[in-house]
Amino acid sequence: MTTTPSPYPARLAKLQGLIRQNHLTAVALVPGANLFYLTGLPFQMASRPMILIVPAEGTPGLIIPALEVPRAEGRTPFPVTFFPYTDAEGYAVGYAAAAAALRLAGGRIGVEGMKMRVLEGNLLVEHAANARIEPAEDWLMWLRMHKDQAELAALREAIRISEAALERTLAAFRPGQTERQIARVLQTALDDLGSTENAFDAAILSGPNSALPHGGPSERSVNVGDLLLFDFGGRFGGYAADITRVFAVGPISAELEKIYQTVLAANLAAIATVRPGIPAQEVDRAARKVITEAGYGEYFIHRTGHGLGLDIHEAPYMREGNPMLLEPGMVFTIEPGIYVQGLGGVRIEDDVVVTESGGEVLTTFQKALRTL
C-alpha cells in the first residue's frame, strides 16, 4: 500500500524561500487560512494571541497560550519550537522568549496586514527591539494560489455537497415560503450531507431583494413572478464552495428573462476565455462586454470573480486592472451579475480551475433558466 507524502514540509520550504526572496527575517502568521495551510492546525483567532513565526531559515516558533499546547503538541507536521505563556504570566513571556530565540531584534518581519490585530503587531514590536513590521500580502498570496490534487479533491467535495443541498432545497420549495424558511431548509441539507461549516452566510433573495449583491434572507414571502437567488457554499476539509444560481418562480416578465439570458451569456463568455497565460482582467472584460452590449453595463457593479480555497475571497481576482497571468492550479469564481433596483437581480456563479490547456468548471448545477 502506498502512502501519500505529507505536503507540509514542501509548503514550509516554499514559504521560507519566499521570505528569503523578499529579504525578510521572518514571517508571523496568525490563526487562519495561511496557518492552516502551512501546518494543518485548525486554530481560530481568540482573545489569547497566538502566532507562528517562520524564520528565513531554521525551525519555526509558535507563541501559544499554555492551555492550547495539548491541542498542538505532537500534531505539527514539521519541527516547531513552542513558546507558551500562562494567563498569570501574561503574553510577554512567550513573545520575549520567541524574539530572543529566533533573533528577531532589528529584523524585518512580514505580517498578514489584513488579518493580524493591533495587539499582535504591538507585541512583536515591543519584544523584538527595533524590528520593523511590514505587510506581506502581496507575495504571501503565492503560497496558496496554486491548488494541488488533494486541495482540488476537497473543493470538488464541497461543491458536490452544496449542489446536492440546493437540489434538496428546491424539491421542498413551495411559493409562499419566506426567504428565511428556505434558508433553514438549505442549512439542514448542508449539515445532513456532510458540510463541515458554511463558507459564508447564505444569501437567499427573492423579487426586488435579488438586486442586493450582498443581501441576506428576510421574512419576505417568495411569490409567483419572482426571481429566487441562492448564493451559498458549504465546506469540506477546510475548502469552500461558492455557488450562485437563480430560478424563476412561475412565469416571469420579459425583462427579467432578458436579464437572465444576458448574465448567462456573460458567464459562458468569461469561462471560454480561461486558459494559462491570459491576464485575469481579460476574464472580467469578456463578461463585461456581453453585459454592456446588451445595455446593462451600469448594473454590473462588481468584479467578475475572486480566488477560492481556504478563504472564500483570495487571489487571484478577475477584475479590470489585474494583469496577473492565469496559471494551472489557480481556482476562482466567475460570477457576472445584473442588479436593477426595484425589479430584481441575476448572478450566475461557477467555480473554475485553470488547467494546462484551458479551464475546468468544477460546478455542475444546471444554468439554463429553471422554473419552480
In the prediction, which pLDDT does 279 show? 98
Over residues 55-82, the mean pLDDT reads 96
Over residues 328-332, the mean pLDDT reads 98
**Assigned domain for 331 exists:** yes
For residues 204 and 84, membership in a common domain is answered with no
For residues 242 and 342, membership in a common domain is answered with yes
Q: What share of the chain is helix, strand, coil (3-state, %, to 5)?
A: 35, 20, 40
In the prediction, which pLDDT does 2 show? 52
Each residue's pLDDT tens digit, 84-143: 999 999 999 999 999 999 999 999 999 998 899 999 999 999 998 889 999 999 899 999
Which cell numbers hold the place of 26?
521572518
For residues 97 and 195, membership in a common domain is answered with no
In the prediction, which pLDDT does 3 show? 62
Length of the chain: 372
Residue recorded with cell 494543518: 40
For residues 140 and 27, membership in a common domain is answered with yes
For residues 318 and 346, membership in a common domain is answered with yes
In the prediction, which pLDDT does 189 show? 98
* Separation of alpha carbons 39 and 141, rounded Å: 16
In the prediction, which pLDDT does 248 show? 98
* Separation of alpha carbons 77 and 14, rounded Å: 15
For residues 189 and 234, membership in a common domain is answered with yes
For residues 127 and 153, membership in a common domain is answered with no
Phi, psi (rounded to 5 degrees) for 240: -105, 140
The CATH number linked to 175 is 3.90.230.10
Each residue's pLDDT tens digit, 195-234: 999 999 999 999 999 999 999 999 999 999 999 999 999 9
The domain tally of the chain equals 2
The CATH number linked to 17 is 3.40.350.10
- The answer to whether residue 1 scores a pLDDT higher than 70 is no
Range of the domain at 117: 8-144
Residue 264: which of 152, 357, 347, 193 has the closest Cα?
347
**Assigned domain for 368 exists:** no
For residues 90 and 17, membership in a common domain is answered with yes
% of the chain surpassing 70 pLDDT: 99
For residues 126 and 220, membership in a common domain is answered with no
**Assigned domain for 226 exists:** yes
**Assigned domain for 196 exists:** yes
**Assigned domain for 369 exists:** no
Q: How confident is the model at residue 150 (pLDDT cuts 50, 70, 90)?
A: very high
- The answer to whether residue 58 scores a pLDDT higher than 90 is yes
Which cell numbers hold the place of 204?
437567499
In the prediction, which pLDDT does 246 show? 98
Q: Which of 84, 110, 144 is the last residue of a domain?
A: 144
Phi, psi (rounded to 5 degrees) for 155: -60, -45
**Assigned domain for 2 exists:** no
In the prediction, which pLDDT does 136 show? 95
Each residue's pLDDT tens digit, 172-196: 999 999 999 999 999 999 999 999 9
For residues 138 and 153, membership in a common domain is answered with no
Q: Which of 91, 125, 144 is the last residue of a domain?
A: 144
**Assigned domain for 298 exists:** yes
* Separation of alpha carbons 279 and 277, rounded Å: 6
Mean pLDDT of all residues belonging to the chain: 96
b/e code 321-335 from CB counts within 10 Å (16+ = b): ebebebeebbbbbbb
% of the chain surpassing 90 pLDDT: 96
122 φψ region: left (φ > 0), alpha (ψ -120 to 50), beta (else): alpha
**Assigned domain for 370 exists:** no
Phi, psi (rounded to 5 degrees) for 275: -170, 160
Question: Other CB atoms closer than 10 Å to residue 174's CB: what's the count?
Answer: 10
For residues 169 and 265, membership in a common domain is answered with yes
Q: How confident is the model at residue 68 (pLDDT cuts 50, 70, 90)?
A: very high
For residues 193 and 231, membership in a common domain is answered with yes
Q: Say if residue 292 is exposed, middle or buried (CB neighbours under 10 Å; 0-12, 13-18, 19+).
A: middle
Q: Which of 92, 113, 144 is the last residue of a domain?
A: 144
In the prediction, which pLDDT does 341 show? 97
